[in-house]
Structure 1
Amino acid sequence: MKALFHVDFDSTSTFELALANIENFIKDVGDAEVAVVANGYAVKLFVRSANPKFAQKLVELNEKGVRFYVCNNALNLHGIDKENLFEFCEVVPAGVTKIVELQNDGFAYIKP
């Protein structure tokens, strides 16, 4: 199974829900491909210094194979240098384009 989780708001409660959904999905399904696409204000959630609260959980999910894609357009809009992101984040030119690509590749779209 393939699942795409889309986050676009800088909301702690929504992000916590998304991370819990991802954990529950992996626990329930087992072998799954999971991607997270962050665009808009949500790119702020992947800045190392701004979000130590989520660091361990993100590392654990990455070690389970979860891929994290962060929108470069949103990074530029918010003045965030990609060097400040968690090292496992992959910066993509446009988050919305990555969402379409993943859906075309069979990923189910989930919006927590």
Structure 2
Amino acid sequence: MKHLLTAAAVATSLCAGWTTAALAEGATHHIAVHVNQNDPKVMNMALNNVQNLTRYYEAQGDTAVVEVVAYGPGLHMLIPGKSPVADRIATMSLENDKLSFSACGNTHRKMSEKAGKEVALLEEASIVPSGVVRLVELQEQGFSYVRP
């Protein structure tokens, strides 16, 4: 009986050590943020969400990997001269290398066709084939989904 108690105590100590080590290393959280409205309030709320969750996780010793996906009317968020949040995006991107912005290729192509020329995007933006598909892919990869 004494050996069983000793073995249990050792196992408990080891588990506690692993838990402490795991917490000390910090977790990585993956978040997809959805923007599909050409509304400055929604765009700012999305960026506020990104800043708040990033600050929260950093204060916990964790890391937040965030991808903002814009499509439909929300693509205006990533268009120079039309984006009411372009300066915030530039600043946030410089401050956070775990933050990325994805522009829907379908929406971009349709906007470019309508404009009769290639619509420029903010330098922080990368084109993905489809915004909706990108959100699905991110969720399938374990990203949490946020829609402001």
Q: Same fold (TM over 0.5)?
A: yes
- Two-structure CA RMSD over aligned residues (Å): 1.3
> 1:30-49 to 2 correspondence within 5 Å?
30=58, 31-49=63-81
CA distance in 2, matches of 1:109, 1:59: 23
Residue matched to 1:101: 137
TM-score, normalising length from structure 1? 0.90
| Sequence identity percentage | 27
Mapping of 1:1-80 within 5 angstroms? Answer: 1-30=29-58, 31-51=63-83, 53-63=84-94, 64=96, 65-79=98-112
> Structure 2: how far apart are the matches of 1:105 and 1:14?
25
2: distance between equivalents of 1:70 and 1:92? 6
Structure with more of its chain in helix, by fraction: 2
Alpha-carbon shift at residue 57 of structure 1 (Å): 1.0
Offset of residue 50 of structure 1: 1.7
Q: CA deviation at 1:16?
A: 0.9
The DSSP-based 3-state class of the residue aligned with 1:91 is: strand
TM-score (norm 2): 0.70
Corresponding residue SS for 1:78: helix
Assess if the C-alpha contact under 8 Å between 2:89 and 2:124 holds in 1.
no
Q: Deviations over 1:4-34 (max 9, x none)?
A: 1000010111111111111001010122100
Deviation at 1:59, TM superposition (A): 1.4
SS at match of 2:51: helix
Per the alignment, residue 147 of structure 2 pairs with 111
Distance of 1:17 and 1:61 partners within structure 2: 14
